[in-house]
Amino acid sequence: MPRKPVIEISGVTKDYKQGALSVQALRGVDLTIAEGEFTAVCGPSGSGKTTLLNLIGALDTPTAGTLRVDGRDLAALGRQGRSRLRRDRIGFVFQAYNLMPVLTAYENAESVLALQGVPERERRARVAKLLAEVGLAGLEDRRPDQLSGGQQQRVAIARAIASDPAVVLADEPTANVDSETAEHLLDLMQRLNRERGVTFLFSTHDPRVMKRARRLVRMVDGRIESDERREEQP
């Protein structure tokens, strides 16, 4: 049975102004991501992969083309609608973790649920379970500066999936950690994909992420050069 499309992109372009010049970061991109996929978008710097994730995450708007996330046309939502979509249906994992430095691991992980108005008792139960699941049991009360880079990224992953989003967008999530930590983080995200069905879309130039991906989309000069589906790597 075909899986539901989570991301549908058709003819998307994105232009940026640099003084009097116009730079085309994306040039007619077409891409569909179905629920449960574990996909990496790769390419050299300037290929458009981060721009593409920013558009999917409703952090920016395309110059032309249509983009639907979880069945919603982003252009039709307006600013508040896009903000709600980011809050409720899109999880983010960033290269620099983007945790609130004054909040504990628990408070960072529960922040989206608090914004959604989830009752405190339910938040407490869900977040405690999530932090244990990502290997942070016993570290709930530590602030980011009391955690290693890998532990901070685990908090970010817990925060990203806490609201059961349609898709998690991970922009270079292994860039700021050592090789062993990167492998552990990828093990974690693969397990969440297999066991919870979490849809992951990565922007990366890390060969370790590319090796793990079940689908590899290569971008060059703002276009999709290839789209390869393959068996899951162990």
Residue type, 97: Y
- pTM for this model (two decimals): 0.92
How much is the pLDDT for 1? 63
Compute φ and ψ for 151, nearest 5 degrees.
-70, -40
Q: Determine the straight-line distance between the first and last CA of the chain, rounded to whole angstroms.
A: 25
> Given this model, what pLDDT does residue 232 score?
57
What would the two tokens of residue 119 be? 């009752």
Helix (H) or strand (E) holding 73: strand 72-73
Instruction: Provide mean pLDDT across the span 110-124.
Output: 94
The answer to whether the CB of 217 falls within 8 A of the CB of 31 is: yes
217 vs 45: which has the higher pLDDT: 217
- Cα distances from 229 to residues 19, 139, 189, 218, in angstroms, run 40, 38, 18, 12
Domain boundaries of the chain, sorted by first residue: 5-229
pLDDT at 209 over 80: yes
Question: How high is the pLDDT of residue 216?
Answer: 97
**Among the listed ranges 15-19, 29-33, 82-86, which one has the minimum average pLDDT value?**
15-19
Average pLDDT over residues 17-39: 92
CATH code of domain 5-229: 3.40.50.300
Q: Which backbone phi and psi does 186 adopt, to 5 degrees?
A: -70, -40
What tens digit of pLDDT does each residue of 37-81 get?
999 999 988 899 999 999 999 999 999 999 999 999 999 998 899
pLDDT band for position 117 (cuts 50, 70, 90): very high
**What are 124-138's pLDDT values in tens digits?**
999 999 999 999 999
Tell me whether strands 38-42 and 5-18 are parallel, antiparallel or unpaired: unpaired
Which of helix, strand or coil describes residue 199?
coil
Exposure of 189 by Cβ count < 10 A (0-12 exposed, 13-18 middle, 19+ buried)? buried
Report which of residues 30 and 20 the model is more confident about. 30
pLDDT averaged over every residue in the chain? 92
